[in-house]
Amino acid sequence: MSRGITYTSSPLLASPTPVWRSKFIVAAIAVAFSGLIGRAVYIQVIENEFFQKQGEVRFARTLALPASRGRILDRNGVVLASSIPVPSIWAIPEDVPRSPEALKKLARLLDMPLSVLNKKLEDEDKTFVWLKRQVDESVGKEIAALGLKGIYQRKEYKRQYPEGEAAAHVVGFTNVEDQGQEGMELAFNKELGGRNGSRRVIKDRMGRVVEDVGEQIAPVDGRDLQLSIDSKVQFFAYQTLKEAVLLHKAQAGSVVVLDVHTGEMLALANYPSFVPDKRRNLSGAQLRNRALTDTFEPGSTMKPFIIAAALEQGMVNPATPIQTAPGRMRIGNATITDSHVYGVLSVNEVIQKSSNVGTVKIAMQMSPRKMWEMYQQVGFGQKPVLPFPGAVSGRLRPYKSWRPIEQATMSYGYGLSVSLFQLAHAYTIFGRDGDLVPVTMFKMNEPAAGVPVIDVRHAKAVRHMLHMVTSPGGTAQKAQAMGYSVGGKTGTAHKVEGKGYAAKKYRGVFAGLAPIDAPRIAVAVMIDEPSNGKYFGGDTAAPVFSQTVQQTLRVLGVEPDVSVVPQVITDAVEESF
C-alpha cells in the first residue's frame, strides 16, 4: 500500500509563479488568434478571387450540352443518317471494387477482355476514365443492374445509318466524338453538327452535380441535309454492281446515275463497301469512293466526243465513209489495230463497231487544240465542282505537248485519265441536246441551266450512234433494257502497271443514256479487273447499266418507250480498245 501524500505541502506548488509568465501566455494566445483573424481576412477578403478559383478548379466543371446532329435525308425524305441518345460508360477507378467476379461480368457486358478493363482501371487518372463509349441501351441497363460502385453512365449521341453499305460512300460516317470523317458527314460537318451548349456546375468527388453556377447556354441543333440521292435507286444500283463484281471475280466496281434534266446525282455506289456504324477491321479498299477518287484510261468511251468535235467542225457527217481496211494503221513506230477488218464504215458505224482505225483517221484531221478543247469543255482534266472530299481532276495534258501518236491514242481513250463521275457527267451533253449540266448533290425542284458545248443537231446525231451501239451489230447489245430504249458506248482498257500496261488486267466500262429519244438519266459503270473469262465492257459493265436503267426509270415514273421485249443476246461484236 502506497503512503499518502499531502500535495498542498509540495514545495513546487507552494513556490510563487512569476506574473510575466501568465502575461506571456495570454499574449501568445492573443497573437495566435490575431494571426488566425489576419489569415481569415486575407483568404476571405484580400485574396478571395484566387482561392475561389482554386476551389472551382477542384469542384466546378463546365458540362457540354451536346447538340443533336442533323439528319441526312434522301430526295424523298428517307433517313440516310440520324443520331440517337445512347449511354457511355465511365468510372472513378479508385472507387471501383476489385472483385474478380464483378469485374468479369462488367468486362463481358463491355465486350472487352478482363485484362483490358483492369488496365483502364489502373490508369494514372484515379478520378475519371472512359470504359466504353456509345454502348447499346440494353447494355447500359445491364451494367446499371450490376450496382457497381464507381461505375457511371453519361448520355451521348450515336450515329445510325439505315441504308448501310449501299449508301456508305455517299453519306460517310462520324467518329465517336460525332465529327464527320468521310462523305457528306465530313463535307458538311459544320452544318450538321450545330453548336454545343454549356452548363457550369459544382460536382462532388463522386461526380454528382451539387448545384448550378453561372448561366446555362442552350445547344443549337444541326440542320438536316436533303440530298438528291434516291435511296431506292441507290440500293438497286449497289446490289446490281455487287452481283456483277462477284460474278466476274473483279477487284472492284463503281456506278454513277445522274438526272440529265436537273443535274441531280441519283446514285453513286462502289463495291467493296462498308457498314458506316460497324467499322471494325475496315480496310482502305472498302473506304475508297472509287467513282470520285480513282482515275483510269477510259478507252473507247472517248470516241463519241471525237465524232462530236468532227461534226462541229464540219469535217464529217454521220454518213461520211471512212476506209478502215486492212484493220490497222501505223503512226510513227506504233501500229493501231481494230479487233476485226471492217473495210469501209460510215461515221455512224465507226461508233457502232468501235473502230480504232476509223476514229483515229477522223481525229488526225483536226488540230490537237480542237480535240483538247472538246475534252476540256466536258470537264476532263478539271476538278469536279462537288462538295465531296477527295474528288480528283484526272489527267489531260496541254495540247501543245502532244505528239501525233499521243493525239491518236487519246482519241480512243489512252493517254488521258478520268474518274467515273467525270465520264457520266460528260455524257450528259448528248442527253441534253448539246449542253453540259452542272451536277448537284442536293434535291432540285427545277431543271438546271447548262453550258452549251455542241450544236443540238450534232448531239442528236451522236445519240443515234450510241443507240446503234446497243442495237444488233453493236458492241453492247447486253445494255438493252426491258421496256426502254438505250444508247451508250463501251470501253475496255488495259490497266497501267509499272511503266507500261498489264497484259491481262483490264477495266470494263460502259456509259450511256436512257430513254434514247428523250433522255432522262445518264449512267456510267466501271468493273475493275474482271478475271472470270470476260473482260470487255460490253460483257461486264453493260449488263449493270441495263439493270440500273430499268430500275431507275421505273422509280422515277418514266413511261416505257419500247413495247418489244429484247431477245437474249448470245453473240455480240467485240470492241476495239
**325 neighbors 338 (Cβ within 8 angstroms):** no
Give the bridge partners for 255, in sequence order.
Answer: 269, 525
**CA-based end-to-end distance of the chain:** 128
Whole-angstrom distance, CA of residue 29 vs CA of residue 16: 23
Residue showing cell 496541254: 398
> What would the grid cell of residue 126 be?
484515379
**Which comes out higher in pLDDT, residue 10 or 420?**
420
Give the pLDDT score at 478: 95
pLDDT bin (cut points 50, 70, 90) of residue 1 is: very low
Q: Which domains does the chain have, with CATH numbers?
A: 63-93+128-226 (3.90.1310.10), 231-555 (3.40.710.10)
Give the pLDDT score at 394: 94
Strands 129-132 and 265-271: unpaired
> What would the grid cell of residue 188 be?
458538311
**Which comes out higher in pLDDT, residue 110 or 6?**
110
Give the pLDDT score at 327: 93
Listed in sequence order, the residues at least 6 apart from 471 whose beta carbon sits closer than 8 Å to its beta carbon are: 352, 477
Q: What SS3 class is residue 543?
A: helix
Give the pLDDT score at 10: 61
> What would the grid cell of residue 328 be?
490497222
User: Which amino acid makes up residue 29?
Assistant: I
Kind plus residue range of the DSSP H or E element containing 291:
helix 290-293
> What would the grid cell of residue 533 be?
473469262
User: Which of these ranges, 53-67, 380-394, 404-418, 449-463, has the smallest mean pLDDT?
Assistant: 53-67
Give the pLDDT score at 12: 56
255 phi and psi angles, rounded to 5 deg = -145, 140
User: Which of these ranges, 92-101, 231-240, 295-304, 518-527, has the smallest mean pLDDT?
Assistant: 92-101
**338 neighbors 355 (Cβ within 8 angstroms):** yes
**Which comes out higher in pLDDT, residue 533 or 230?**
230
> What would the grid cell of residue 191 be?
452544318
**363 neighbors 394 (Cβ within 8 angstroms):** no
User: Which of these ranges, 158-172, 195-209, 282-296, 408-422, has the smallest mean pLDDT?
Assistant: 195-209
**Which comes out higher in pLDDT, residue 567 or 79?**
79
Among left, alpha and beta (phi > 0; psi -120 to 50; other), residue 25 is alpha
Average pLDDT over residues 296-325: 96
| 388 alpha-carbon distance from chain centroid | 7
**Which comes out higher in pLDDT, residue 22 or 327?**
327
Residue 58 has pLDDT above 60, yes or no: no
Top mean pLDDT of 204-208, 307-311, 472-476, 561-565 is at 307-311
Question: In this prediction, what percent of the chain has a pLDDT beyond 70?
Answer: 89
Top mean pLDDT of 31-45, 170-184, 204-218 is at 170-184
The residues assigned a catalytic role are 300
Condensed to tens digits (0 to 9), the pLDDT of residues 500-545 reads 888 889 999 999 999 999 999 999 999 999 999 899 999 999 999 9
Best CA proximity match to 208, nearest among 281, 117, 285, 127: 127
Q: How many helices (H) and strands (E) does the chain have?
A: 21, 21
Question: In this prediction, what percent of the chain has a pLDDT beyond 90?
Answer: 61
> 404: cis peptide before it, omega within 30°?
no
User: Which of these ranges, 76-90, 184-198, 349-363, has the smallest mean pLDDT?
Assistant: 184-198
Give the pLDDT score at 37: 87
> What would the grid cell of residue 448 be?
438546271
Condensed to tens digits (0 to 9), the pLDDT of residues 315-358 reads 999 999 999 999 999 998 999 999 899 999 999 999 999 999 99
Give the pLDDT score at 482: 93
User: Which of these ranges, 88-92, 424-428, 431-435, has the smallest mean pLDDT?
Assistant: 88-92
pLDDT bin (cut points 50, 70, 90) of residue 185 is: very high
**478 neighbors 546 (Cβ within 8 angstroms):** yes
Give the pLDDT score at 186: 94
pLDDT bin (cut points 50, 70, 90) of residue 6 is: low
